[in-house]
Chains A and B, each alone.
Chain A
Amino acid sequence: MSITKEEVQHVAHLARLEFSEEELERFTEQLAQILSYVEKLNELDTSQVEPTYHALKLTNIFREDEVKESIPTEEALSNAPQRENGFFVVPKVIK
């Protein structure tokens, strides 16, 4: 299965990435290679096989819903590129 430059550009947008023309060429080629390698999986009939999303059969891990000590706001914000009055600052989203 091949992948086009346009598709790569679309996926890049979904992933919030952008590429130069040169990168786009290279990624298109490498992704095509990798996708053609994984085609191999189609040799197997899996129509009757349940998928595994998790290696252990642990389900419904509950805990008490109680208030516990957490990281103070200042510390939680300490790595934010921009912050103000205890909030994260983002570029304006409403025009």
Chain B
Amino acid sequence: MEWFKLPLTAQLELLNKGEVTSRSLTSYLLKRIEEKDPQIKAFITVTAEEALRAAEEADKSRGQKDHRPLLGLPLAIKDNICVRGAPTTCASKMLAQFKPPFDATVIKKLKEAGAIFLGKTNLDEFAMGSSTENSAFFPTRNPWDRERVPGGSSGGSAAAVAAGFCAGALGSDTGGSIRQPASFCGVVGLKPTYGRVSRYGLVAFASSLDQIGPITRTVKDAALLLRYIAGRDEKDSTSAPHEVPDYLSALKLNLKGAKIGIPKEYFGEGLDDEVRGKIQEALEIFKDMGLAVKEITLPHTPYAVAAYYLIAPAEASSNLARYDGVKYGLRVEGKDLIDMYKKTRSQGFGAEVKRRIMIGTYALSAGYYDAYYKKASQVRTLIARDFQEAFKEVDFIVGPVAPTPAFKLGERVDDPLKMYLSDIYTISVNLAGIVGLSLPCGFSKEGLPIGLQIMGPHFSEEKVLALGHQFEEILKLYEKYPEI
């Protein structure tokens, strides 16, 4: 049996029927990681011992009528989410030795649901980047073409799922960091509504934009995981009090007659022709499914990248002030306290992190605050309003996830602005705090996956997942695996 080809929901069924033990499933996946990950480098840390121990416990308690919903299910976790006692490095030299003394709320909830963890996945340092090349340790490779990037920043999680090292992983998305790598790796990635999932224990990058979400092979699996990570958390005052619905049973929602808006700004210059073609094919499928498709406008789209690259760095510069060589993380001795701070931070952070701290500090500094940070936050209002207006007319907005399929390693590393522009279709969703789902809709001639993005209003996860699920069941692209 090729266990690695099974989605989470299928693994669960077999576990529940007793056709496989969590121990054998886990050791199978660990062996696959050991054999194949040296080519992909999806994991920073593999917690094999802990995973096997947890799997054995899961098997034992299953025998004692433990019916927890994710019992014995192996997952991978992006390495900016705290798992108690396991290294949580954020792919930074700054946190290379950091072992959090607590679990993030999502980890606590997944543990309570019975899930087990195979390890921690690679990312762009502190989740800043779109290719996972900004990892201080090593780049991750795209399982579909190892000369290409897996996207980022959750590139390790997306590559791990695509390579069949696990069927589900967690990522985080501040400007597209779940959706863009999911698109590059041919898997599913969900950026839930801001506040839907607690951020407690997610190492903060830009607090008003960050959101944790699932990366899986199928939309159905994303619905499964979301159910168990979502919900209000006393430890995150920005988490939303809205009740958590059963996303799995919502997948059957009847969507006939629902309206899809196609923003004309998402199909302009810069969009690769093959991507454009696949999205257009997808629109025909939606029409065949009985949905109405109409063109809409999100007029402030051309300003999203500029607003984002002030707001996110501003928040980052303040969040990353905590890395001072005192409480945790790297310390480099200096001649006095200030010198110690400077040496620690200059040696602990990589180039992209420094660049963003610099932009953010500049945008927040005396005399520039109104011109940059406040201005960008006003433009953010205009971008959010575009969506509010659009959602008065349509139920969903559909477009590409990224302008191109996965690009080559090294291709954009030296051009930060070009790298930033690869987030052009994902950033607005974070600025507005709405739902964004990335799912495969085809392959390029070169065999690279192409992703489709479905956007919905705040707390529309049930409908967005339902549309994604009904679409994926037509193409069944989740049956395709890369040869590794």
Residues of A bordering B, CB below 8 Å: 3, 7-8, 11-12, 14-19, 27, 30-31, 33-35, 37-38, 40-44, 46, 49-56, 58, 61, 63, 71, 75-76, 78-82, 88, 90-93
Count class of interface residues, chain B: 35 or more
Chain B residues, Cβ within 8 Å of A61: 237-238
Across the interface, do A54 and B306 meet the contact criterion of CB distance under 8 Å? Answer: no
Chain A residues, Cβ within 8 Å of B420: 34
Chain A residues, Cβ within 8 Å of B331: 81-82
| B476 CB within 8 Å of chain A | no
Across the interface, do A46 and B375 meet the contact criterion of CB distance under 8 Å? Answer: yes
Pairs across A and B, CB under 8 Å, 29 listed: A14-B365, A16-B324, A16-B338, A17-B349, A17-B354, A27-B354, A27-B355, A31-B355, A34-B309, A34-B359, A38-B310, A40-B306, A41-B307, A42-B375, A49-B378, A51-B380, A53-B208, A55-B434, A56-B238, A56-B240, A58-B238, A71-B102, A79-B101, A81-B326, A82-B331, A90-B326, A91-B337, A91-B340, A92-B336
Chain A residues, Cβ within 8 Å of B97: 79
| B447 CB within 8 Å of chain A | no
Tell me whether A41 and B303 are in contact in the complex, defined as CB-CB below 8 angstroms, given that A27-B358, A46-B378, A91-B340 are known contacts: yes
Query: Could you tell me the distance between the alpha carbons of A76 and B113 in the complex, rounded to whole angstroms?
Result: 27
Given pairs A14-B365, A34-B417, A71-B101, 13 additional interface contacts (CB within 8 A): A15-B317, A16-B321, A34-B359, A40-B302, A41-B375, A44-B303, A44-B379, A49-B379, A79-B100, A80-B327, A82-B331, A90-B340, A93-B337
Smallest Cβ distance from A35 to chain B, in angstroms?
A: 8
Contact with A along B394-438 (1 / 0, CB 8 A): 000000000000000000000011001000000000111110000
Smallest Cβ distance from B308 to chain A, in angstroms?
A: 10
Smallest Cβ distance from B442 to chain A, in angstroms?
A: 31
Chain A residues, Cβ within 8 Å of B189: none
Tell me whether A56 and B195 are in contact in the complex, defined as CB-CB below 8 angstroms, given that A16-B324, A79-B97 are known contacts: yes
Chain A residues, Cβ within 8 Å of B379: 41, 44, 46, 49
